[in-house]
Amino acid sequence: MTRVVLRSDKIDRRPEPCEATEVTNMNGNRYYGVRVEGAKYGVSFGTALAIAISYTANHSILWAIVHGILGWLYVIYYALFRT
């Protein structure tokens, strides 16, 4: 993803950094924009993994849904306390 910065009729195209960037809006307030795409992918993977583990262990769709909601918490629980 690239960010376009206009300065005195010039277009400066440079890659957007992955870290937090300081942005000033029109009111003069500053805020920090942070990319959270990695977090979304981690949550999705944790949910899918929890569903797969739960269905394999319990053979129940209802428990798979419940454990999918819990996501990484169930995956960690299963890794530590499975029998």
pTM: 0.55
Residue span of the structural domain in which 61 resides: 38-81
Residues 11-20: pLDDT tens digits? 555 655 555 5
In the chain, which residue ranges form alpha helices assigned H by DSSP? 37-58, 61-70, 72-81
The total number of structural domains in the chain stands at 1
Asked whether residue 23 is assigned to any structural domain, the reply reads no
For residue range 8-57, what is the model confidence (pLDDT) as tens digits? 555 555 655 555 555 555 666 665 555 566 667 778 999 999 999 999 99
**Inside any domain, residue 62:** yes
What is d(CA 72, CA 32) in angstroms, rounded to the nearest whole number?
Answer: 28
Residue 77 within any structural domain of the chain: yes
- Residue 71 counted as domain residue: yes
19 assigned to some structural domain:
no
Q: Is residue 14 part of a domain?
A: no
Q: Examine residue 50 and state whether it is found in any structural domain, yes or no.
A: yes
Task: Compute the distance between CA of residue 39 and CA of residue 10 in angstroms, rounded to an integer.
Answer: 35
- Could you tell me the two tokens for 62? 């209802």
On whether residue 69 sits in a domain, the answer given is yes
